[in-house]
Structure 1
């Protein structure tokens, strides 16, 4: 399946078409650097689209463009039938009911001076939900991410990285969104904690029908999480299709190189695979 074929869907929750983003270089005469070069894809209701590529490929910029955090030079972003690529700040605040994000670093994404309860109540109160109802919702959110009710009275520093990421997930769920952008949500965690958080995200999706745009550099993680996969390289989607096909029989040499760079238990084999992958990724 080509990237164009994978992008055509009549029931998409999120549609991205011809997305281009560029940034100015340092200095007044420095040329612009094009980070995204006409990217197109869909995310359907209730599914996970894995967006995978190495550092600098443009994958995080896609998520930030959807969230309105970077300016779009051209192309369209349509969410639930509404064009949002140029949405003003007031509309963006309204859109946060349906469109949320979980960032990579659980240590910096939470305000260290707020209790967990205040952190979770903040978006609820900001959208006009009363204090009593907000307190009840905080308890529901903690239960959903398998944290005890007394966690509401504690500060982020009292929790491990995995627990903090659960809090970040609970905060993203507070307004009952339809789509969550997960930007490398487990890359800062150890392997055991990583699996626990991934299982939690899958459980939440099964219970709520939420959709994820899952941004990662790890093909094994995207295979575990995703219904469909889009592989991005130097600002272009080079391969897209269902997760099983892309991660077991990749067609593009860049996707094959990503597979070779994934860790394996055999150390000499790992060294050989990474040397092979390094030559491909640099080309």
Structure 2
């Protein structure tokens, strides 16, 4: 791994409170993390933990209330307008839902060529690049003439991945990119992410609630709980022998095929929950 491609330091994000005179709600409490060239950093946590907010802050979709976000050694914490558009060549995103992230009125060819043409690529060159992208994500060449509704969820997510790859970015923020897919399709799409990274050296900030998914694609893992990073480290130890009780509960919550092992996990999860309640009391 080389020097940091993305460096997030003491990141804080605050949302307005709901209701009259409600206090603002700080959802990130000083999060720090980094992603190196060609690396995958997995961010894992339950719903409402703040993991998606990290990705949105990196992408400029929410405004940080504190801290800094640096990408390619430039401060993009409050980047907007021209600076944010210039970042699109190197910083891309794959969203969670493959059914709503693609324009239903455009063909796949138009969806993939649009970001290239906007950045100044000639239409003929863009069409050649579209053919390369379809091959890269394992879709047939005639897919470029078809509409998104003609594809399955897994195929649509492959299109979304191809769109993110189109400008040859340095980093892709992957926000729950397989959670809307069935398990067998999830496995194929995750293998695709790994294969693409092996061939292109693109880096991923990979966000998921599923520890098994994070284990499969990540080099390092950061576990977030209620707006704080509670455990970080190499993917193997964090996802198999975690030290923090919250990460242990995430691991124990993952289902296994063996009923006896599942009963043991359930009992251990209840023990950890009881220990937490006793500590709070």
In the alignment, structure 1 residue 89 sits paired with structure 2 residue 81: yes
The answer to whether the 8 A contact 1:39-1:235 is kept is yes
Match of 1:51 in 2: 43
Task: Identify which of 139, 145, 165 aligns with 1:147.
Answer: 139
- 1:1-283 correspondence to structure 2 within 5 Å: 11-267=3-259, 269-270=261-262, 273-274=265-266, 276-277=268-269, 280=273
Q: Give structure 1 regions of 4+ aligned residues with deviation exceeding 4 angstroms.
A: none
Q: Which runs of 5+ in 2 are unaligned?
A: none
1:258–1:277 CA contact under 8 A, matched in 2: no
2:162 and 2:120 map into 1 onto residues whose CA distance is 19
**Alpha-carbon contact 1:102-1:181 (below 8 Å) kept:** yes
Residue 273 of structure 1, CA deviation = 2.9
Q: C-alpha deviations, 1:11-65, integer Å up to 9, x for none?
A: 1000000000010122241111110000001000000000000010000000000
Measure how far apart 1:89 and its partner are. Answer: 1.8
Partners in 2 of 1:67 and 1:275 — Cα distance?
A: 40
Structure 1 residue runs of 5 or longer lacking an equivalent are: 1-8
Does the CA-based 8 Å contact 2:2-2:37 persist in structure 1?
Answer: no
Q: What is the alpha-carbon distance in structure 2 between the residues aligned to residue 211 and residue 91 of structure 1?
A: 21
Number of residue pairs aligned between Structure 1 and Structure 2? 275
| Distance (whole Å) between structure 1 residues aligned to residue 42 and residue 208 of structure 2 | 7
Structure 2-normalised TM-score? 0.94
Distance of 1:280 and 1:98 partners within structure 2: 43
How far apart, CA to CA, are the structure 1 residues paired with 2:181 and 2:137? 16
Secondary structure of the residue aligned to 2:60 is coil
Q: 1:88 to 1:244 in 2, by over 3 A?
A: same
* Aligned equivalents of 2:161, 2:97: Cα separation in 1: 12
The answer to whether the Cα contact below 8 Å between 1:254 and 1:280 also exists between their aligned partners in 2 is no
In structure 2, how many angstroms separate the alpha carbons of the residues matched to 1:275 and 1:39?
A: 32
Whether the aligned pair in 2 keeps the contact of 1:102 and 1:183 (CA below 8 Å) is yes
Q: Does the Cα contact within 8 Å between 1:16 and 1:40 map onto a contact in 2?
A: yes
